[in-house]
Amino acid sequence: MTAAVHREDVAPARAAPVRMPGLFGPLNPPFADYRGRRVWVIGASYGIGAAIARDLLARGARVTLSARRRDLLRSVAGKNRDALIAPLDVTDVASVHAAAGLIEQAWGGFDLALVVAGTHVEMRAHLGLVIGGGAVELDAPHWDLARARQLLEVNLHGVLNCVDAILPVLARQGSGGIGIVSSVAGYIGLPRALIYGASKAALINFTESLYGDLRPQGIGVYLINPGFVDTPLTQQNRFTMPALMKAEDAARVTLDEIAAGNFEIHYPKRFTRWLKLLRVLPYRLQLAAVGRATRP
């Protein structure tokens, strides 16, 4: 079931013009103190989202924890009275709207929604060796359209489903913020990330556009691009991950930088700055550098 968003539902509550940032200073309204703020974390049952939820609760925020696994959400929340559990599946838009409704009922809305949920499927475009009519896998899962679509369903369409539920609430309030977790894998094409990288590149582009649309309406928009963080998602990787971070450190940097009003939040800087440099190189240099750095 798709919940349509009507024009009158999304009209901003306050029509007052918002001063846009100049050349200096933060791109978003600083979020000075999390105490008492209502934050919705989607993808909070384990990994980075769980670490963010725990950190927020420790900072005194009221946190709604969402993901599919209710038991895990409960264990992240512990006995904290400022935690609300709202299970959902991001691929099921009705369940996402139901969770948003639950938060509005309980807390009247939210000051910040963080869409962290995502998944990873390693994939390469290797054609494989054909022996006796059967394809033999080389060193990684090969091209698989069904798995590619499944990944996009969670990482891209799932995020759009969340945005569909978040926007009307922010518009009614005329305040608040939305943060979307993408990845540095969206900066440039990397091996083993054939579809994952494409889903994250789409999210980077989408969030940039979202900023242009929502910031003039007084809404904060945050783009979160982690490098490698130690979570169940990366524990399946079979290669050495440079500058691997702990989930707790990723959570702390994310929340500190949102509080500071940054737009793009990327970490760890000693890794992400190299990728940013690669992104602006001419393709001849960029592709050669990526090939050399990721050769097995």
Ligand X SMILES: NC(=O)c1ccc[n+]([C@@H]2O[C@H](COP(=O)([O-])OP(=O)(O)OC[C@H]3O[C@@H](n4cnc5c(N)ncnc54)[C@H](OP(=O)(O)O)[C@@H]3O)[C@@H](O)[C@H]2O)c1
Q: Which residues contribute to the site for ligand X (CB under 6 A)?
A: 43-49, 67-69, 72, 88-91, 116-119, 154, 158, 181, 183, 226, 228-229, 231-234
Closer of 170 and 251 to ligand X (Cβ): 251
In angstroms, what is the minimal distance from the CB of 241 to ligand X? 7
Closer of 28 and 254 to ligand X (Cβ): 254
In angstroms, what is the minimal distance from the CB of 167 to ligand X? 18
What single-letter amino acid sits at 132? G
CA distance 266 to 275: 11
Closer of 39 and 171 to ligand X (Cβ): 39
In angstroms, what is the minimal distance from the CB of 99 to ligand X? 10
In angstroms, what is the minimal distance from the CB of 165 to ligand X? 13
In angstroms, what is the minimal distance from the CB of 81 to ligand X? 22
Dmax (CA) for the chain in angstroms is 70
> In this structure, are residues 247 and 229 in contact, taking their beta carbons and an 8 Å threshold?
yes
Closer of 169 and 181 to ligand X (Cβ): 181
In angstroms, what is the minimal distance from the CB of 33 to ligand X? 25
In angstroms, what is the minimal distance from the CB of 196 to ligand X? 7
Closer of 91 and 175 to ligand X (Cβ): 91
Closer of 162 and 219 to ligand X (Cβ): 162
CA distance 296 to 290: 12
CA distance 15 to 117: 32
Closer of 61 and 204 to ligand X (Cβ): 204
Structure tokens at 122: 């390693």
